[in-house]
Structure 1
Amino acid sequence: MGDAEMQGAPVGESAVFDRSKVMMLLGSLVVAAIVGHFVLAWNRKRRNLPPVVDSAVPFVGGLLKFIKGPVPLLKEEYGRLGQVFTLQMLTRNVTFLIGPEVSAHFFKAQEADLSQREVYQFNVPTFGPGVVFDVDYSIRMEQFRFFTEALTVKRLRSYVEMMVEEAHLFFSKWGEEGEVDLKVELEQLIVNTASRCLLGPEIRNSHLEKVTSLFHDLDNGMLPVSVLFPYLPIPAHKRRDRARKELAEIFSKVIKARKASGKKEPDMLQAFMDSTYRSLKRGTTEEECTGLLIAALFAGQHTSSITSTWTGAYLMKYKQFMPAVIEEQKEIMRRHGDHLDYDVLNEMSCLHRAMKEALRLHPPLILLLRQNHTDFSVTTREGKSYTIPKGHIVGTSPAFANRLPYVYKDPDTFNPDRFAPGNEEDVKAGQFSYIAFGGGRHGCLGETFAYMQVKTVWSYLLQHFELELTGPKFPEVDWNAMVVGIKGEVMVRYKRRQLTCD
């Protein structure tokens, strides 16, 4: 018993002592957290840092808000905090710049100050190693030059010829009248066109169905969660990786066969095969051609099919704009007949404005991001100045910024005339008020190609068919991917016709 008593007392004292230590430790942590909060707040005020998005759960809360929906998040915080604010996600700080007044540096900055590579690493599993965001800046700029050389006016002229042929072939299979899901139809047509112009006749004629299926898996493997966790072992990523591997095998066989035959084709694949690195003093490898080709297809095919569908859907809903577009087609036919080429498409200013307005409302990319390497300052419309610290990720959102009410009147309404001569709301608001294709140093290289592609589709449709939306409601946005699509069906009734020139 003596031993028990001897042992009992120290145990009791130890328990009291441990509880005391725990309470003291917890108290210290609480005090440290409070002090830390005020120190951070003081430091933020002293350095003039942007306000921070509130989160009920520190660190994790910002991530949950982001994954739930970037655009709703931006809309809410813009209304509460203004044009500049910071979202804390795990160990990362993402500072958003919303509006032309604060985003100029984002678009104009040198790569050494604001870089793409770190934040777009989530593209590497899709595009593959050794291309675009998996290489340093100097090599990436050379690869972007390859894209530019593949999209010269001379090459665009030949691409338009292919686009017209594909449109004629595709729509000749429609009957005299009927009903179709326009989204599905245009997706297939754009796949056909992109395959013909970018991938070449080998893919278009022999592997199209397989490539289309694989590309679908590749596209669906890029989700909002992929931005932060591109290698997360989820089913969508596993399908993406399998699709990337199979696409590489198909493209590799085509490249090998083309090299062996010595035959040259007027497509983007050939342009990549013939490209040469000036700094490395060598040509492109088979693997690089494959990666660049996937990047080009990813950038051009899906975005063009979405934009084609939105353009037509809005013209059919807002019928007051259709007569001007139809009359433009009649005028084009009076001067050129039913001939379409690069120069004729460039004359279609009404159709161009309709497409531009559809892109304003629905730019395919939700977010544009950069890694900040140097402190810089921005000033809001209200005159508030903030310092954006080195180390922050900096972002802007075409999907949100293109609908700012002080830039665009009735911003949620489709109105192509806002871009008509004399109106030009984007011009009046200043540079970077319209960012559907990005802007500045990293503007979209395929912008002209996209306009040509969509104009070809709709010029052909308007000249040959009467069209009417028949769905119970107007199409909705599908936010469940990085390239924002259209939810559900877009049902359209068509009737074949031929526009007269009188």
Structure 2
Amino acid sequence: MGLLATVAGPIAERAANTSTAALIASSVVSFVVLAVVLNVLSQLLFKNPNEPPIVFHWVPFVGSTVTYGIDPYKFFFDCRRKYGDVFTFILLGKKTTVCLGTKGNDFILNGKLKDVNAEEIYSPLTTPVFGKDVVYDCPNSKLMEQKKFVKFGLTFDALRSYVRLISDEVDDYIKKSPTFKGQHGTVNVPQTMAEITIFTASRSLQGKEVRDKFDSSFADLYHDLDMGFTPINFMLPWAPLPHNRKRDAANRKMAETYMEIIRARRAEGAKRDSEDMIWNLMSSTYKDGTPVPDNEVANMMIALLMAGQHSSSSTSSWIVLRLASRPDILEELYQEQLAVLGADLPPLTYEDLNRLPLNDQVVKETLRIHAPIHSIMRKVKRPMHVEGTPYTIPTTHVLLASPGVTSLDSTHFPNPTLWDPHRWDEGAANAGRSGPTANGTAHTTGNGDEAPEDEEKIDYGYGLVSKGTNSPYLPFGAGRHRCIGEQFAYVQLGTIIACLVRKFKFRNREGEEGRVVGTDYSSLFSQPMRPAHVVWERR
């Protein structure tokens, strides 16, 4: 009996444990099934005619998160066909209302401060990366002043001086990079263009001291900061995750590095070696008479470098990949330089860029198809009625604009998925109604903003800018949060591409002719799938 009891006891215990585990598993399954059933019934039976239709989804909280995350543009166009330009989907438990088209862009991007708010959406993500008291970690009025400081640091003289600095950086990179040893080889485009854009931006915008740091530990710090933009940090920016600890350490080190440069400049009375942004901010003063504190200068430098790097890195990568798939366009670019600048191809100048229309059109067309940011979000602060619809968006919703949808819409751009820089030729039949820079007739206003003569302008606190939302082409956004680095981006991208074109021929690898890699939407910024290799050959 004792032996039987010894054996039977553990068996009975295991049976009991198994039974308990089965009961728990059964309860969990039942709960999930019940939640799914109730979620479906609520969508079918309790529709609110005063709110936009909700995109059908099976699982509560998750909603359409996965479908949206895999390919936002496919999701937007599919939903538009079913629900129209205004619809709501569930994004990680949050009701997110999408407003598409030029009217949707205007509704959200030109929304009034009392109605929509960007800070509440982005501050949890950006503040740990950029630092305190700048960008979304300060009142909107202060942010507008900070944008004014940066924008008026991008003067014509500054932009003009940057072309030579950027050209020198590209040439130096080509000479030193192991990737470009010899007469031909292959290059992983996204990795290489990320390095080139960070080197050129740091040298031109931030000065020699900052650029020199990128030869050592600064690049690693930048990468650690960059990891702070992972989508999970929209929800858990405070979580003690490994990438967040590295992010915080990188922010402290990067800020201190900038502070050391600023202190040294002030102490030594150093002379400017270029019109870099640090000099501009060090001499700026808020409206109340307070000079911009050094810690805010440092944090704005982090923000400036981080914000511009993603879009320029992605766009320059797409340009090279597109040119490798279209060697005929690449050769046209080279012949354009020979015809306009001369067979000896002298060092590039700012004026030269303005004489290379196809070079500029390649940048514009790439930004049209490959907008760096696919979704722009705002928190609803007051109920907002959508004109022309029965819908009123409540304060429990987040609004989402996607200017990239209009630039991929055949209503505005015939054959919209075709990468064709010549659609921007003056008088081109397939250009469509493509906005301020469609045919090269845009002018540059006194503060560097590009807009047509009859475009309505507004001053949000950092100088007159075009409202711009009537255009289907908005690669740099619109409204008070429109990207102030637009002019610099065109100068940087145009210079980089012009330099590469005169040095190399690019083509896809054998068997991949005409092919272009897919888009990676896993980050907040759209970018080419990695790795993405093409073949290069010296001219």
* TM bracket, shorter-chain basis: 0.7 to 0.9
Letter of the structure 1 residue corresponding to residue 520 of structure 2: D
Counterpart for residue 308 of structure 1: 316
Structure 1 CA distance, aligned partners of 2:128 and 2:529? 26
Deviates more, 1:178-187 or 1:478-487: 178-187
**SS at 1:133's partner residue?**
coil
Deviation at 1:466, TM superposition (A): 2.4
TM-score between the two structures when normalised by the length of structure 1? 0.83
Answer whether contact 1:264 1:270 (CA < 8 A) is retained: no
Answer whether contact 1:67 1:225 (CA < 8 A) is retained: no
1:231-278 Cα distance to aligned partner (Å, 9 max, x none): 233333232222212212222222222221111433112212221111
Structure 1 CA distance, aligned partners of 2:43 and 2:509? 57
Distance 1:39 1:182, change over 3 A: closer
Answer whether contact 2:43 2:54 (CA < 8 A) is retained: no
Distance 1:33 1:61, change over 3 A: closer
1:313-361 Cα distance to aligned partner (Å, 9 max, x none): 1122123433432332122213995131112112221111111111112
1:379-424 Cα distance to aligned partner (Å, 9 max, x none): 5xxx755333344321112444432232222222211122222233
**SS at 1:118's partner residue?**
helix
For 1:32-181, list aligned pairs within 5 A. 41=47, 44-45=48-49, 47=50, 49-63=51-65, 65-66=67-68, 70-89=72-91, 92-121=94-123, 122-173=125-176, 174-179=180-185, 180-181=187-188
Counterpart for residue 411 of structure 1: 416
- Please report the RMSD computed on the Cα atoms of aligned residues, expressed in angstroms: 2.9
Deviation at 1:64, TM superposition (A): 5.3
Deviation at 1:85, TM superposition (A): 0.6
For 1:321-336, list aligned pairs within 5 A. 321-334=329-342
- Confirm whether residue 216 of structure 1 aligns to residue 216 of structure 2: no
Deviates more, 1:200-209 or 1:355-364: 200-209
Counterpart for residue 4 of structure 1: none
Answer whether contact 2:63 2:93 (CA < 8 A) is retained: no
Letter of the structure 2 residue corresponding to residue 393 of structure 1: V
Deviation at 1:184, TM superposition (A): 2.5
Distance 1:466 1:57, change over 3 A: closer
Counterpart for residue 263 of structure 1: 270
Counterpart for residue 370 of structure 1: 378
Counterpart for residue 25 of structure 1: none
Q: Equivalent of 2:281, from 259, 264, 272?
A: 272
Looking at secondary structure, tell me which structure has more helix per residue: 1
- Confirm whether residue 486 of structure 1 aligns to residue 528 of structure 2: yes
Structure 2 CA distance, aligned partners of 1:102 and 1:125? 31
Distance 1:207 1:322, change over 3 A: closer
Structure 2 CA distance, aligned partners of 1:264 and 1:109? 43
1:448-495 Cα distance to aligned partner (Å, 9 max, x none): 111111111111122232222227553222222112222223333333
Counterpart for residue 190 of structure 1: 197
Deviation at 1:132, TM superposition (A): 0.7
Q: Equivalent of 2:479, from 440, 460, 463?
A: 440
1:24-49 Cα distance to aligned partner (Å, 9 max, x none): xxxxx9xx9999879952xx21x3x2
Distance 1:414 1:156, change over 3 A: same
Structure 2 CA distance, aligned partners of 1:292 and 1:444? 14
Deviation at 1:172, TM superposition (A): 3.3
Distance 1:94 1:129, change over 3 A: same
Answer whether contact 1:318 1:414 (CA < 8 A) is retained: no
Letter of the structure 1 residue corresponding to residue 234 of structure 2: V
Letter of the structure 2 residue corresponding to residue 273 of structure 1: M
Deviation at 1:90, TM superposition (A): 5.9
User: Any unmatched runs of 5+ in structure 1?
Assistant: 1-28, 498-502
Q: Equivalent of 1:421, from 426, 432, 441?
A: 426
Structure 2 CA distance, aligned partners of 1:393 and 1:348? 42
Structure 1 CA distance, aligned partners of 2:534 and 2:413? 30
**SS at 2:378's partner residue?**
strand
Counterpart for residue 11 of structure 1: none
**SS at 1:494's partner residue?**
strand
Structure 1 CA distance, aligned partners of 2:407 and 2:244? 31
